[in-house]
Amino acid sequence: MVNIAVLGYGTVGSGVVEVINTNHDIVNKRAGEEIRIKYVLDLRDFPGDPVAEILTHDFNDILNDDEVKVVVEVMGGVEPAYTFVKKSLLAGKSVATSNKELVAAHGSELIAIAKEHAANFLFEASAGGGIPIIRPLNSSITADDITEITGILNGTTNYILTKMANEGADYATVLKQAQDLGYAERNPEADVEGGDTCRKIAILTSIAFGKNLDYATIYTEGITKITAEDFKYADAMKSAIKLLGTTKNVDDKLYSFVAPVMLNETNPLAKIDDVFNGIMVHGNAVDDIMFYGRGAGKLPTASAVVSDVVDAVKHMGTNIMTIWEPEELETGDFSDAVNRFFVRVADEAGIEEKINQLFGDVQYVSADGVTGEKAFVTSDMTEGDFQKKKTELGSIINVIRVAF
């Protein structure tokens, strides 16, 4: 029998307890041992819930109990999660976490500590919710030079964008629905301003390229400036608006960004709706691979966390090699990254001449019922060049990157 402890009995933590209880036989068979939840740590009490019998408010009960071999951290936030996880690993306990804030900030260090103590630091649920993506990057796509990772990596924003596009739903109402469904972060600004996607693309990039990508250096835009008019243009352009996190290797330089992108309907990521996430990985041998599934929610996320618990139990006493060195990844200057841009600008006198003079050959777009403005798509240009010309153009209403 292997004893485990669950830190945090919220959406994901209660899901972990439910999955382990419901799928008891199958999980134990796959782990090769009976998994027993010995403690659940939370700030609150849960009267009437069976978990009350194993509830503690003191992390030291778990740390000092040598019978606890695996700690599941699903509290969220960097502190005290970092302190609890580090102490657990230093004590030789393996850790499974869904906490991307923790992994993006301290992943490399925690992996190294786990290795030194013949334990494991596992974080399958930290990107893509229930989608297996960390394990494939670490164990399956190991023959390839990876040249691109692009994904819809946030369930909350994909849920919001889908409802706004398909039902004309109001932003605030759908955000509230995503919160009620347990998809959103405690502070949903992390979802809607792109910070959550930024941490996830940083984690995936660090695992794929073996060195640390500091998430704070990634250019990040969220979805809060997207309006009903943008969806009308997207319709006219046979496109969907999706919040993407991407890392591309261009001429041996890595460029990452997080931003809403107009994706042509022929792009497989354009069809990924609701809380679902999709991640496209391109390798120089395997070509394109797509990963698809629920990016947030109680049971899908718990499924990924429990798969880590099973892996930790199967590898008790041995470290699963994971390469994420502390050394910073060398990245290109974002102003040199090449993109195309959809631009909406106020329809002032002489605006077309100004657009043509600054941007040359552009494609004009019009949308039903939108007046008083001009909209166009640029050719490929660098981010730096675009920002300069955008400033000269003035009276910008909105800008969204475009991909095919």
- Identify whether the C-beta of residue 49 lies closer than 8 Å to the C-beta of residue 69: no
- Identify whether the C-beta of residue 184 lies closer than 8 Å to the C-beta of residue 275: no
Q: Which of 268, 130, 114, 135 is nearest to 203 (CA)?
A: 135
Instruction: Give strand pairing partners of 41.
Output: 7, 56
- Contact partner, 191, from ligand HSE, ligand NDP, none, Cβ < 5-8 Å per class: ligand HSE
Question: Considering the rule CB under 6 A, would residue 296 count as an interface residue with ligand HSE?
Answer: yes
**Catalytic, out of 100, 200, 232, 242:** 200
Site for ligand HSE in 97-156 (CB under 6 A): 129, 154-156
Question: Considering the rule CB under 6 A, would residue 92 count as an interface residue with ligand NDP?
Answer: no
Q: Which is nearer to ligand HSE, 158 or 239 (CB)?
A: 158
User: In angstroms, rounded to a whole number, what is the distance separating the alpha carbons of residues 219 and 348?
Assistant: 31
Question: Considering the rule CB under 6 A, would residue 222 count as an interface residue with ligand HSE?
Answer: no
Find the binder of ligand HSE among 39, 82, 121, 183 (CB under 6 A): 183
- Contact partner, 245, from ligand NDP, ligand HSE, none, Cβ < 5-8 Å per class: none
Site for ligand NDP in 167-186 (CB under 6 A): 182-183, 185-186
Site for ligand NDP in 262-291 (CB under 6 A): none
Q: Which of 183, 141, 144, 142 is nearest to 162 (CA)?
A: 183
At residue 192, what are phi and psi to the nearest 5 degrees?
-75, -25
Pairing mode, strands 35-41 and 2-7: parallel
Q: Which is nearer to ligand NDP, 177 or 319 (CB)?
A: 177
Residues with Cβ within 8 Å of 95's Cβ and at least 6 positions away in sequence, in order, are: 70, 71, 72, 73, 85, 88, 89, 110, 114, 119, 120, 121, 122, 312
Q: Is 163 a catalytic residue?
A: no
Nearest 5 degrees, angle CA 108-CA 112-CA 117? 150
Q: What is the closest distance, in whole angstroms, from the C-beta atom of residue 175 to ligand HSE in the complex? A: 11
Question: Considering the rule CB under 6 A, would residue 124 count as an interface residue with ligand NDP?
Answer: no
CB neighbour class for 309 (10 Å; exposed up to 12, middle 13-18, buried from 19): buried
Question: Considering the rule CB under 6 A, would residue 11 count as an interface residue with ligand HSE?
Answer: no
Question: Considering the rule CB under 6 A, would residue 184 count as an interface residue with ligand HSE?
Answer: yes
Q: What is the closest distance, in whole angstroms, from the C-beta atom of residue 298 to ligand HSE in the complex? A: 11
User: In angstroms, rounded to a whole number, what is the distance separating the alpha carbons of residues 275 and 152?
Assistant: 10
- Identify whether the C-beta of residue 247 lies closer than 8 Å to the C-beta of residue 213: yes
Residue type, 88: S
User: In angstroms, rounded to a whole number, what is the distance separating the alpha carbons of residues 307 and 350?
Assistant: 60
Find the binder of ligand HSE among 42, 73, 124, 185 (CB under 6 A): 185
Site for ligand NDP in 70-89 (CB under 6 A): 74-76, 80
SS3 91: coil
Question: Considering the rule CB under 6 A, would residue 196 count as an interface residue with ligand HSE?
Answer: yes
Residue 373-392 contact track with ligand HSE, rule CB under 6 A, x = bound:
--------------------
Q: What is the closest distance, in whole angstroms, from the C-beta atom of residue 102 to ligand NDP in the complex? A: 7
Give the residue carrying structure tokens 């996830």.
200
Find the binder of ligand NDP among 2, 6, 13, 247 (CB under 6 A): 13
At residue 106, what are phi and psi to the nearest 5 degrees?
-135, 15
Position of minimal CB gap to ligand HSE: 156
The footprint of ligand NDP (CB under 6 A) covers 8-13, 41-44, 74-76, 80, 98-100, 125, 129, 182-183, 185-186, 296-297, 301
Residues annotated as catalytic (active site), given as ranges: 200
Interacting residues with ligand HSE (CB under 6 A): 129, 154-156, 183-185, 191, 196, 295-296
